[in-house]
Amino acid sequence: MPENVQVLHARWIIPVEPAGAVLDDHAVVIAGTRITALLPGAKARHEHPDADHVELPQHALIPGLVNAHTHAAMSLFRGLADDVPLERWLEDHVWPAERRFVDREFVREGTRLAAAEFLRGGTTCFNDMYFFPDEAAAAAAAAGIRAVVGMLVIGFPSAWAATPQEYLANGQRVHDAFRDHPLIRTAFAPHSAYAVEESTLTRIAMLAEELDVPIQMHVHETAAEVAESLARHGLRPLARLQRLGLVNERLLAVHMTQLDDGEIELVARAGVSVVHCPESNMKLAAGFCPVAKLATAGANIALGTDGAASNNDLDMLAELRTTALLAKAVAGDPCAAPAADVLRMATLNGAKALRLEHEIGSLEPGKQADVVAVDLGDVRSQPVYTPLAQLVYTGHRDQITDVWVAGRRVVENRRLTSLDEAELVKSAQRWRARIQGGGRSD
């Protein structure tokens, strides 16, 4: 049976690779789940007369955005604790709420809510770190979004696991269950160097090699974390991780707001991917990731939103603009983090961090058809001199009209095709009533 062929005609195509390229009046040809060609629009019509032709005359097509760090189910904690420092946010609000409310249903419904927000905002792949990753994976797969789910390890008992050994065993069962799934991958997810024992971190380094998966963890998130590590161990967290064998190309070091020049060189030399979460870091006053210095050193920089409980949204287009502006301010250089580089952070660099760069992250023949259409005909984007820069500096997620994941149109004319938005709103409201009421539901 022949594969379904779709031809997406757009005013511009921004493929990300080659870097900075913008194709005028071109089309993306999709057969089944993969991109087969990028062609001038007229040529695509001639070569594929019987295909399903989608007209996007004032749009830019970009690769699906890769959100390289999330806690998706925490969407149900959005707004639960605002305007407090990170330590109080975690210890006085988030961790107590998690102990009381997080179960399989919470993760399933919270991930579905996040998936809807991701897709409406052009995110086609997210990297998650949370309890019950099997539920998150199942919810993502049903929604038609790509996900890397974290095999979580944290140094206290939870509803998901009681001991480090049980965390690892449960995680590996999730890895085995989704090993061959077309949309789901796994990564080890030790919470942080301060919340996981060294013996467990060493075990994770070995298992990651055996299973050939990445490792994501919070690293150098705050000055307090670094000071505590020096006081307890005589080493900064990154140095401890290096001693334990975790500082290599598998590591996604999330946040990294506290780096000296030697650490920047180490990260770049070792092939570590830094996941920058600018809006969450600013909201919690955690510090500023030295993006310009990392880029100059050659480090792979990806972008994430963090969870909706600390951001408070999952809007990757907003993170693009914030990343570009914040990097310039921190570096004191208006040339830092140019638009093309920032878009690459949110697409191909994120894919590379997740070891998926051969499948997603750019619009190239042979890659998975994860495509986002952004309407630049809106009054807020006019006039358009440079579409790539316009996307980064004026783009809003409500300008995203259509999204494809593996060739499936999951957003069509701003409407989700794989999820019921009205039902998700009702579910979120039920959880709000339960959490606000101390456990009672409507």
Confidence (pLDDT) at 285 = 93
pLDDT at residue 77 tops 90: yes
Q: What are the residue boundaries of the structural domains of the chain, listed by start?
A: 5-63+362-406, 65-353
Average pLDDT taken over every residue of the chain? 96
Tell which wins on pLDDT, 365 or 378.
365
Mean pLDDT to the nearest integer, 158-164: 96
> How far apart (Å, rounded) are the C-alpha atoms in residues 357 and 335?
27
pLDDT at residue 85 tops 90: no
Cβ pair 368, 108 in contact under 8 A: no
Tell which wins on pLDDT, 90 or 365.
365
Confidence (pLDDT) at 2 = 57
Which amino acid does the sequence have at 192? Answer: S
We find that the CATH architecture of domain 5-63+362-406 is: Roll (2.30)
Report percent pLDDT > 70 for the chain.
99
Residue 361: half-sphere exposure toward Cβ, Cα within 13 Å: 24
Phi, psi (rounded to 5 degrees) for 49? -65, -25
Which amino acid does the sequence have at 90? Answer: L
**Which CATH number describes the domain made up of 65-353?**
3.20.20.140
Parallel, antiparallel, or unpaired for β 65-70 and 146-153?
unpaired
Considering the entire predicted model, what is its pTM? Answer: 0.97
Confidence label for 442 from pLDDT (cuts 50, 70 and 90): very low
The residue count of the chain comes to 442
Mean pLDDT to the nearest integer, 203-223: 97
> How far apart (Å, rounded) are the C-alpha atoms in residues 286 and 315?
20
Query: What digits encode the pLDDT tens for the residues 119-130?
Result: 999 999 999 999
Confidence (pLDDT) at 301 = 98
Residue 240 makes CB contacts below 8 A (sequence gap 6+) with: 193, 198, 229, 233
Cβ pair 325, 296 in contact under 8 A: no
Q: How far are the Cα atoms of 93, 195, 268, 436 from residue 81, in angstroms, in the given order?
A: 6, 21, 35, 12
Residue 375 makes CB contacts below 8 A (sequence gap 6+) with: 56, 58, 59, 399, 400, 401
Confidence (pLDDT) at 369 = 98
Query: What digits encode the pLDDT tens for the residues 246-272?
Result: 999 999 999 999 999 999 999 999 999
